């Protein structure tokens, strides 16, 4: 870690920079209430950035990033204009005016060096951006604007520069790179851009061998689930708590439903950056000083504050496919109870993804179940967990629903689709969510091992793997959602 070092190293090094006489505080001494007016003088970031010479580039002229100023690399060559004009030329003016319009007025994009040809080249770049969007890359107006500016400060017409300008400004994640590569080749021809290729994402890791052995042991080790003593003392409710839902008769089922209705599911709390006054906690210097001042400097008590806590959002995905049929009713009632918390979202998965949060918001559980039955089109069908999880992430999760949330998957992991897809989507989910919990009703069966290919592919991205077959197991699940430590997951690769 040469030079980077922690703490002290850089703290003093500030002296090397100029700290005086440039950004004076515009202090308003007349404002005694300690609150500043909005100045309204905020420059737009683009105005700030234009026309200033960054420290490394005092010399005029176009220094290429690689250091050789006007020289063209022989292997890249100055690409003929036709080359970068591209095959994705857009009809000028049709592309969402904002992107282009934002860049050109007075800006360097319309520089005199590029009269009509410049406009044509821009149309090609806009066409390229549009093709990227069609391929699923979020090349939004703001990004396209940056792209045009980037191309403009680089060597115009040099293929590798266009390639990198686009890749740096239009992509927002590793998943975009492969699509970018493809669309770039389609628009600007196939030649590998200046000897640089994107390596394909590593194949998903399946470490079945390492996992299969130890896992079944967790069932036994899960000490708090002893089989209920057959003693007559145990109440019927207590017995029922531990019974596998799949084996209940009608009367027992009724009783179970009543017990399930009493559930509450609250997400683990997270500390927010906001603080609130509190009796205990760190000293709140701000309020303490203010109070001191109000008392004219008389010694006052120390006021304290603490972080405000907020429960995390809980997202529940319930598998309603055929293999889950014995459990679906109980699990959905569990989800209904869970959805009473305002920060809970519920989806069903099978062959379709259905958001059922609204249906479950009926207070009356039987009304809710009826609404749900009408809304869900795919009861007892097959399972396409990977595909549906991708749909969930694309449509809801990525935009914020899964972000920082506790996500609970209630499924046996029998995947009809490609387990690798499920594995990949689970990794995505894992990166977004605060915690991923998988409850599998079949986990409690003697000798259970996550042999279902889907389950095996998903496990490395699961933080807590729990049972889900009985009331007791669901209580345990609720505790884990609240943040209780689960039994560790074998083979999960949380670093």
Partner 1 sequence: MRARLEETGYLVDDGLATACFLALRLHRPIFCEGDAGVGKTALASALAGALDAPLIRLQCHEGIDASQALYDWDFPRQLLHLRAAEATGVKDADRLEGELYDRRFLVSRPLLKALETQPSVLLVDEIDRADDEFEAFLLELLSEFSVTIPELGTLRAEVPPVVVLTSNRTREVHDALKRRCLYHWFDHPGFARELAIVRRRLPAVSARLAEQVTTLVQALRSQDLLKPPGVAETIDWARALDALGANEVDAELAVATLGSVLKYREDTERARGLDLAAVLAARGA
Query: Applying CB under 6 A, which residues contact ligand ATP?
Result: 1-2
Site string for partner 1, 174-193 (x = CB under 8 A): x--x----------------
Find the binder of partner 1 among 71, 217, 221, 286 (CB under 8 A).
Answer: 286
Burial class (CB in 10 A: 0-12, 13-18, 19+), 346: buried
Quick check: 183 and 132 in contact, CB under 8 A? yes
Residue 82 has a CB neighbour count (10 Å cut-off) of 8
Q: Using alpha carbons, select from 211, 203, 201, 204 the residue that is nearest to residue 456.
A: 211
Residue 278 binds to partner 1 (criterion: CB under 8 A): no
Shortest Å distance, C-beta 216 to ligand ATP: 35
The helix (run of H) or strand (run of E) holding residue 314 is strand 314-319
Q: Which of 78, 87, 94, 205 binds partner 1 (CB under 8 A)?
A: 205
Q: Between residue 324 and residue 383, which ones bind partner 1 under the rule CB under 8 A?
A: none
Angle formed by the axes of helices 159-170 and 174-188, nearest 10°:
150
Looking at the Cβ atoms of 9 and 115, the one nearer to partner 1 is 9
- Which of 222, 357, 361, 398 binds partner 1 (CB under 8 A)? It is 398
To partner 1, the closest distance from the beta carbon of 163 in angstroms equals 9
From the list 200-208, 229-237, 315-323, 470-478, the region that binds partner 1 by CB under 8 A is 200-208
Name the binder of 177 from ligand ATP, partner 1, none, CB < 5-8 A by kind: partner 1
- Binding segment toward partner 1, per CB under 8 A, in 159-167, 251-259, 415-423, 471-479: 159-167
Beta carbons within 8 Å of 137's beta carbon, 6+ residues apart = 170, 171, 172, 176, 179, 180, 183
CB atoms within 10 A of CB 455: 26
Smallest gap from Cβ 341 to partner 1, in A, equals 19
**Separation of alpha carbons 274 and 309, rounded Å:** 9
- Strands laid side by side in the 282-283 sheet: 269-278, 304-311, 282-283
Answer whether 453's CB lies under 8 Å from 480's CB: no
Question: In Å, what is the CA distance from 459 to each residue of 117, 172, 427, 437, 456?
Answer: 55, 27, 10, 10, 5
Given the complex with ligand ATP, which of 135 and 177 has the nearer CB atom?
177
| Binding to partner 1, residues 54-113 (CB under 8 A) | 54-57, 63-67
Q: Does 51 bind partner 1 (CB under 8 A)?
A: no
Per partner kind, with CB cut-offs from 5 to 8 A, the member of ligand ATP, partner 1, none near residue 61 is none
Nearer to partner 1, 132 or 368 (CB): 132
Binding partner 1 (rule: CB under 8 A), the pick from 135, 185, 186, 194 is: 194
The nearer residue to partner 1, 52 or 279, going by C-beta atoms, is: 52
**Contacts to partner 1 from residues 2-31, by CB under 8 A:** 2-4, 6, 10, 13-19, 22-23, 25-29
Tell me which of 382, 404, 417, 483 binds partner 1, using CB under 8 A: 404
Cβ 3 to ligand ATP shortest distance, Å = 8
How far, in Å, CA of 341 to CA of 470, rounded?
22
Cα–Cα dist 373/367, whole Å: 10
**Which of 47-55, 88-96, 350-358, 445-453 is the region at the interface with partner 1 (rule: CB under 8 A)?**
47-55
Q: Does 234 bind partner 1 (CB under 8 A)?
A: no
One-character DSSP codes across 166-208: HHHHH--SHHHHHHHHHHHHHHH-SS-GGG--PPPPPPPP--H
Q: How many residues bind partner 1 (CB under 8 A)?
A: 94
Task: Tell which one of 125, 128, 164, 392 touches partner 1 (CB under 8 A).
Answer: 164
Of 40 and 226, which CB lies nearer to partner 1 in the complex structure?
40
The least distance separating ligand ATP from the CB of residue 429, rounded to whole angstroms, comes to: 22
- The interaxial angle of helices 325-339 and 365-375, nearest 10 deg, is 120
Instruction: In whole angstroms, give the CA distance from residue 151 to residue 123.
Output: 13
- Rule CB under 8 A: choose which of 133, 243, 307, 416 binds partner 1: 307
| 14 versus 106: smaller Cβ distance to partner 1 | 14
**Residue 309 near residue 294, CB atoms below 8 Å:** no
Question: Which stretch, 51-59, 181-189, 243-251, 331-339, contacts partner 1 (CB under 8 A)?
Answer: 51-59
> Minimum distance between the CB of residue 149 and partner 1, rounded to whole angstroms?
6
Q: Which of 428, 416, 417, 415 is nearest to 460 (CA)?
A: 428
Distance of CA 369 to the CA centre of its chain: 30
SS (H, E, C) 445-458: CCCCCCCCHHHHHH
How near is the Cβ of 273 to partner 1 at its closest, in Å? 4
* 207 touches, from partner 1, ligand ATP, none (C-beta below 5 to 8 Å by class): partner 1
487 binds partner 1 (CB under 8 A): no
Candidate list 136, 238, 294, 380; residue touching partner 1; CB under 8 A: 294
97: its two tokens: 């005016």
Q: Smallest distance from the beta carbon of 4 to ligand ATP, in angstroms?
A: 7
Query: Binding residue for partner 1 (CB under 8 A) from 126, 171, 436, 458?
Result: 171
Q: Looking at the chain, how many residues does it have?
A: 495
- Which residues, in sequence order, are CB contacts of 45 under 8 Å at separation 6+? none
Q: Which is nearer to partner 1, 198 or 367 (CB)?
A: 198
């Amino acid at each position: 870690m040469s030079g980077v070092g922690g703490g002290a190293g850089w703290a003093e090094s500030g002296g090397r920079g100029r700290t005086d006489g440039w950004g004076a505080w515009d202090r308003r001494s007349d404002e005694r209430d300690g609150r500043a007016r909005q100045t309204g003088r905020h420059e737009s970031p683009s105005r700030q950035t234009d026309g200033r010479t960054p420290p490394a580039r005092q010399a005029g002229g176009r220094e290429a990033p690689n250091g050789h100023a006007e020289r063209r690399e022989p292997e890249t060559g100055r690409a003929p204009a036709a080359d970068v004009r591209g095959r994705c030329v857009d009809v000028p003016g049709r592309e969402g005016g904002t992107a282009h319009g934002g860049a050109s007025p007075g800006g360097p994009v319309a520089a005199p060096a590029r009269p009509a040809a410049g406009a044509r080249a821009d149309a090609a770049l806009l066409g390229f951006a549009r093709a990227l969007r069609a391929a699923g890359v979020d090349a939004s107006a703001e990004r396209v604007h940056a792209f045009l500016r980037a191309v403009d400060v680089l060597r115009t017409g040099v293929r590798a520069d266009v390639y990198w300008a686009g890749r740096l400004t239009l992509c927002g994640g590793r998943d975009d790179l492969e699509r970018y590569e493809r669309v770039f080749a389609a628009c600007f021809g196939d030649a590998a851009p200046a000897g640089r290729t994107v390596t394909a994402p590593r194949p998903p890791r399946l470490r079945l061998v390492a996992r299969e052995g130890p896992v079944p042991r967790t069932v036994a080790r899960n000490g708090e689930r002893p089989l209920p003593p057959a003693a007559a003392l145990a109440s019927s409710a207590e017995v029922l708590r531990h019974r596998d839902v799949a084996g209940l008769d009608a009367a027992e089922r009724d009783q179970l439903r009543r017990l399930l209705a009493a559930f509450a599911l609250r997400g683990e709390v997270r500390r927010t950056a906001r603080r609130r006054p509190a009796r205990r906690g760190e000293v709140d210097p701000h309020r303490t000083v203010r109070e001191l001042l109000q008392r004219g400097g008389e010694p006052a008590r120390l006021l304290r504050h603490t972080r405000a806590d907020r429960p995390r959002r809980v997202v529940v995905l319930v598998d309603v496919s055929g293999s889950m049929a014995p459990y679906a009713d109980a699990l959905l009632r569990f989800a209904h109870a869970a959805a009473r918390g305002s920060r809970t979202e519920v989806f069903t998965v099978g062959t379709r993804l259905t958001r059922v949060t609204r249906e479950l918001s009926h207070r009356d559980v039987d009304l809710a179940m009826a609404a749900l039955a009408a809304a869900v089109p795919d009861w007892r069908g097959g399972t396409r967990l990977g595909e549906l999880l991708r749909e969930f992430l694309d449509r809801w999760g990525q935009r914020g629903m899964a972000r920082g949330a506790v996500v609970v998957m209630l499924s046996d992991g029998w995947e009809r689709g490609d387990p690798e897809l499920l594995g990949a989507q689970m990794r995505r989910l894992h990166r977004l969510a605060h915690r991923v919990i998988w409850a599998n009703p079949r986990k409690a069966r003697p000798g259970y091992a996550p042999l279902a290919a889907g389950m095996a592919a998903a496990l490395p991205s699961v933080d807590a793997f729990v049972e889900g077959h009985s009331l007791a197991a669901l209580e345990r699940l609720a505790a884990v959602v609240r943040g209780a430590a689960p039994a560790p997951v074998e083979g999960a690769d949380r670093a």
